[in-house]
Amino acid sequence: MKNESTGIVRQIIVGEIDTNCYLFISNNELVVIDPGDEAEKILKEIKEAKVKPKYIINTHYHFDHVLANKKIKEETGAQILIHENEKDFIDFDADRFLKEGDKISVGDNALNVINTPGHTKGGICLLGEDFIFTGDTLFKDGYGRTDLLGGPYGDLVKSLKRLSGLLKPGMVIYPGHGETFKI
């Protein structure tokens, strides 16, 4: 568990390819980011947090980031959010389609939606004041694959260049796989 600004981040590693699911909690509001599998494990952590989820946010449509969406929504009533460019690739009902520049309010925090295509067309990062959830756009030792549907390498290069201008020294990076790290 880590404190970021006025929020708390809990990391839950789920699924067969060790996806990082995150609970972000601020002022008695909670969002679930990338519930990739093992819904019961995630629901147990939610119950322990004693805060009802407001949203389920997917950084992109790949199975390892969305498999537990349905069960968590059924159990909690949280709304599912994903970028509008993922619309044609999902097999679940999203409650809201995100776009570049949207702000997602979570307690005393705002998560700013940054569209970072490259791993997928509608890949996003969620930028907070001194932290960022990067999904499969950026990892500690690399970046997401671009050989899958909707993932042109040139788009990812542009997204990484753009991110380099947004990331500040000391900022905490919460990737979709692997270790959390600081800039």
Indicate the Cα dihedral angle 44, 91, 114, 156, nearest 10°: 110
**CB neighbours of 5 closer than 8 A, spacing ≥ 6?**
26, 108, 109, 128, 129, 130, 131
pTM for the whole thing?
0.92
Mean pLDDT of 32-60: 96
Strands 79-83 and 53-57: parallel
User: What are phi and psi for residue 46, nearest 5 degrees?
Assistant: -60, -45
Q: Give per-residue pLDDT as tens, 22-41.
A: 999 999 999 999 999 999 99
Residue 155 binned pLDDT confidence (cut-offs 50, 70, 90): confident
Residue 150 and residue 88: Cα distance in Å, rounded? 11
Contact 60, 89 (CB under 8 A): no
The crossing angle, in degrees rounded to 10, of helices 39-49 and 69-76 is: 40
